[in-house]
Amino acid sequence: MLAMTFTPWLGWAQSAGNKAAAEAIFEQGKLLMQSGDYTQACLKFEASQKLDEGIGTLLYLADCYEKTGRTASAWAMFKEAASMAGAQGQDSRQKLATQRAKSLEPGLVKITIDVAKGDESLLGFEVRNDGVTVPSVQFGSPFPIDPGEHRIEASAPGKRIHTDVVNVTKGVGRVAVPLLTDLAPPASGTPSTSIQSSSSMKSMGSTPSVPSLDSSTPKSLDTPHPSGKNQRILSYVLGGVGIVGVGVGSYFGLAAIHSNSQSKSYCNASNANDCYPTSVSLHNDALNEAKISTITFIAGGALLAAGAVFYLTAPDDKSSSLHASVGLSPNSTKLSLGGSW
């Protein structure tokens, strides 16, 4: 109940805080742009856009990318800004962003990633460009990329990682990913230490010692009954932490749904695979938020269950003490354990 009550309030408070922080960072980026420090200005605009998306921030970020030579990133941001402006009925901004994107298209640098037959069928196969996953629909087709050096990695579970570093400054670059090879099996070796078997010990004349117990008189162990009060306190703590875990899981679950919904708005309505870079980033955020939600939900539920068990099994503090005894039968082949409470 606490989680359901406070989660919407926490989301609203975070949203308001994000907007204020985004505005402050955006103004810092504008000042850096005016002073000519475009690299730092781009970082400010990126941070502002991540906190609170806005068409104006996108336009400034695209312009900043263009000034630093990141033409593909600038083109993508202008296209994204035009799409957002059109959806919100801001015709002047849509027209401006569309014109800027078209002016960059003739000089765009592109790259084609060719994947060997058999790689795509591998479970978990993935290609990353500078750490960003390349959608499989782009394999074999040229797509825009910022001029300069790029690291292309291909991987799959149980396979060796293939890495290519390419420097593309004009035209269309090309990278060929070969069929990934299996990882070498771990080297087999004899353990440095071994445990002698009972037969070898006997042959060496040694006999394992067995502790003896006096079977005539069982050993009695009188232990005070555990405090029910302390166990109940522990159950309250576990239950409280469990409620917090469920609340955190609820928040990140809602955040994952929101991020996933936003990511779809940056894709072509007629082709779900035609998406802007922001869509990929939001989709990755949604996956991470979903993982956190699942983990905290499971942990919170487990703690709630543990708290309930501790509470329900808490002994009465007025109970008698626990009495236990242990003994060995006369034939030395049976160990008995008994008790009463």
CATH at residue 132: 2.60.40
Alpha carbon distance, N-terminus to C-terminus of the chain: 39
Assigned token pair, 154: 């291909």
Determine the pLDDT at residue 289: 86
Last residue of a domain, one of 86, 107, 128: 107
Contact between residue 327 and residue 266 where contact means Cβ atoms under 8 Å apart: no
Check whether residue 11 and residue 40 sit in a common domain: yes
Check whether residue 284 and residue 242 sit in a common domain: yes
Q: Which stretches in the chain have pLDDT values below 50?
A: 6, 9-10, 12-13, 190, 192-223, 319-324, 326, 335, 341
Position of tokens 């007629």? 270
Cα gap 85→79, rounded to integer Å: 10
Check whether residue 56 and residue 90 sit in a common domain: yes
Last residue of a domain, one of 60, 80, 107: 107
Check whether residue 121 and residue 72 sit in a common domain: no
On whether residue 335 sits in a domain, the answer given is no
Q: Which 8-state DSSP code applies to residue 182? A: B
Determine the pLDDT at residue 269: 61
Assigned token pair, 140: 């074999």
Strand 322-328: give its sheet, edge to edge.
219-223, 322-328, 335-340
| Total of domains in the chain | 3
Which residues lie below 8 Å from residue 115, measured CB to CB, with a gap of 6+? 127, 139, 140, 154, 177
Cα gap 150→167, rounded to integer Å: 6
Determine the pLDDT at residue 158: 93
E strand spans, the chain: 110-115, 126-129, 132-133, 143-144, 148-155, 162-168, 172-177, 219-223, 267-268, 271-275, 322-328, 335-340
Determine the pLDDT at residue 153: 95
Determine the pLDDT at residue 139: 93
Amino acid identity of residue 224, one-letter, is P
Contact between residue 42 and residue 28 where contact means Cβ atoms under 8 Å apart: no
Residue 219 bridge partners (DSSP): 326
Contact between residue 66 and residue 58 where contact means Cβ atoms under 8 Å apart: no
Position of tokens 């502002």? 48
Check whether residue 102 and residue 25 sit in a common domain: yes
Burial (Cβ within 10 Å: 0-12, 13-18, ≥19) of residue 68: middle
Domain holding 270, by residue range, is 230-314
Q: Which 8-state DSSP code applies to residue 314? A: P
Cα gap 194→323, rounded to integer Å: 41
Determine the pLDDT at residue 193: 42
Position of tokens 């960003």? 132
Determine the pLDDT at residue 230: 83
On whether residue 272 sits in a domain, the answer given is yes
Determine the pLDDT at residue 186: 65
On whether residue 308 sits in a domain, the answer given is yes
